[in-house]
Homo-oligomer: A and B are copies of this chain.
Amino acid sequence: MKIIDGGINSPIGFESAGVEAGVKYANRKDMAIVYSQKPCVVAGTFTSNVVKAAPVKWDMKIVEESDYAQAVIVNTGIANAGTGKEGMDYCIQTAQAAAKVLGIPADAVLVGSTGVIGAHLPMDKIVAGIDKLVAAKSHNREDGTNASKAIMTTDTVNKELAVELDIAGTKVTIGAMSKGSGMIHPNMCTMLGYVTTDAVIGKEALTKIVKEDVVDTYNMISVDGDTSTNDTLLVMANGMAGNPEIKIGTPEFEAFKEAIHLVNETQAKRLAGDGEGATALVECRVLNADSKQNARTLAKSVICSSLTKAAVYGHDANWGRILCALGYSGAKFDPENMELYYAAGDKKILIYKDGMDASYSEEEATEILSQKEVQIIADMKMGSEEARAWGCDLTYDYVKINADYRS
């Protein structure tokens, strides 16, 4: 498989667009459509938050009950969460409006919202936006990028990706767009992530891949520990590549799963690296843990530690905070018999060993911690399991962005 220049429109038969609908913000794209020329098998994972936004409930119902889906309508600015019983009415009206102009059933229309909680959707603007989206949608690369840009909120970079792979002699393509920068601590999936593919694959196989893959990708990132009410990851497969169907237990299934993993991991890392106010992507890599679950727990504890994150922002090699975060994670280990390293690019230095400071050079450590991508490596010396988690540094700008988000 290989990463190609592309996005959500790269697979055969997908059309998308992003337009200015004025839902909350002026002068920026704030609505997107992803449409498939043929009906799609769809799989998804959603927030574990007890408080689920109306669009999450709508999508969960479609993923569970509908045989297929064919379009997604997304708005930014307003999350359509904390909107009482009216919230579901907004979803129904959105799906019905899109269904009418697209000539498809309303229960084939998925919806997504992101933005402030508690505000109500201006349905006149949403409906007008849908008309503009349907008129604008195309299979062009540019319109895929427009859709990806339209779902951004506090994101500073557009996050799209495309991967190509060979399935039994047939070229299959996967496209993706994701957004998310604050309220990011996905539990079963992330803020908004959309993946398209022209692969021929059944619902059971696609669902299996999505559910298994989020555990080590989207569920291993955190910006601020806050699990959103709107987290949604959807994967749509329209079968237009014409490959022999990908079945569970075959080499093709493994190859396709690996490609989805590459897409999910790349997008998840982009979310973490573009966390609100972030100046660096922080990866914690736990090696030689006694179990996979403990490896995940340890890695995630480090990237969630406010003190570790602030120290990275200050380029301060304060390894005590890393050790502390490993220690309160809930996983057992022997602090006298493990090692900590900092790494970035080709550089890697040992900083902690035998229960104490490994007499490293503070200058070298500061240089590593000044890079845009910083690795913290914990070798637990207990077994052979490993895990990685991704976060970002904690900066003044995170506080600034969130002290006054609504105004």
Give the B-binding residues of A (Cβ under 8 A).
48-52, 79, 81-87, 116-118, 182-183, 185, 187, 224-229, 304-307, 310-311, 313-314, 316, 318-321, 323-329, 331-333, 335-336, 352, 354-357, 394-396, 398-400, 402-407
Query: Contact at A403–B82, with CB atoms within 8 Å?
Result: no
Query: Contact at B399–A399, with CB atoms within 8 Å?
Result: yes
The A interface, classified by DSSP as helix, strand, loop or mixed, is loop
Query: Contact at A402–B324, with CB atoms within 8 Å?
Result: no
User: Which residues of the partner chain B approach A118 to less than 8 Å between Cβ atoms?
Assistant: 319-320, 352, 356-357
Given contacts A50-B327, A333-B50, A407-B316, whether A355 and B310 have CB atoms under 8 Å apart is no
Query: In the complex, A35→B96 CA distance in Å?
Result: 76
Query: In the complex, A357→B82 CA distance in Å?
Result: 7
Given contacts A49-B327, A82-B355, whether A316 and B406 have CB atoms under 8 Å apart is yes
B79, B84, B402: the one within 8 Å of A307 (CB): B402
Task: Determine how close the nearest CB of chain B comes to the CB of A404; give it in whole angstroms.
Answer: 4
Query: Contact at B183–A81, with CB atoms within 8 Å?
Result: no
Query: In the complex, A228→B118 CA distance in Å?
Result: 36
Given contacts A84-B354, A226-B324, whether A311 and B402 have CB atoms under 8 Å apart is yes
Query: Contact at A326–B50, with CB atoms within 8 Å?
Result: yes
Kindly report how many copies of this chain are found in the complex they form together.
2
Query: In the complex, A226→B228 CA distance in Å?
Result: 21
6 sample A-B contacts, Cβ–Cβ < 8 Å, listed by A number: A83-B355, A85-B355, A118-B352, A228-B324, A310-B402, A316-B403
User: Which residues of the partner chain B approach A320 to less than 8 Å between Cβ atoms?
Assistant: 79, 81-82, 116-118, 229
Nearest first, the 8 A-B pairs at minimum CB distance are: A117-B320, A314-B403, A51-B327, A310-B402, A84-B355, A84-B356, A227-B328, A49-B327
B86, B226, B324: the one within 8 Å of A183 (CB): B324
Task: Determine how close the nearest CB of chain B comes to the CB of A106; give it in whole angstroms.
Answer: 23
Query: Contact at A311–B405, with CB atoms within 8 Å?
Result: yes
A306's closest neighbor in chain B, by CB?
B224
User: Which residues of the partner chain B approach A355 to less than 8 Å between Cβ atoms?
Assistant: 82-85, 87
Query: In the complex, A228→B305 CA distance in Å?
Result: 11
Given contacts A84-B356, A328-B187, whether A307 and B226 have CB atoms under 8 Å apart is yes
A310's closest neighbor in chain B, by CB?
B402
Query: Contact at A398–B51, with CB atoms within 8 Å?
Result: no
Given contacts A226-B306, A310-B402, A405-B311, whether A117 and B51 have CB atoms under 8 Å apart is no
Query: Contact at B404–A321, with CB atoms within 8 Å?
Result: no
Query: In the complex, A189→B101 CA distance in Å?
Result: 61
A228's closest neighbor in chain B, by CB?
B324
Task: Determine how close the nearest CB of chain B comes to the CB of A339; give it in whole angstroms.
Answer: 13
Task: Determine how close the nearest CB of chain B comes to the CB of A161; give it in whole angstroms.
Answer: 27
Query: Contact at B396–A328, with CB atoms within 8 Å?
Result: no
Query: In the complex, A50→B324 CA distance in Å?
Result: 8
Query: In the complex, A325→B84 CA distance in Å?
Result: 18
Query: Contact at B49–A324, with CB atoms within 8 Å?
Result: yes
A402's closest neighbor in chain B, by CB?
B310
Query: Contact at A325–B226, with CB atoms within 8 Å?
Result: yes
User: Which residues of the partner chain B approach A407 to less than 8 Å between Cβ atoms?
Assistant: 316
Task: Determine how close the nearest CB of chain B comes to the CB of A234; give it in whole angstroms.
Answer: 21
**Additional pairs, 11, CB under 8 Å, beyond known A82-B355, A394-B402:** A50-B332, A51-B323, A51-B326, A82-B357, A117-B320, A185-B328, A226-B305, A310-B403, A314-B403, A314-B404, A396-B396
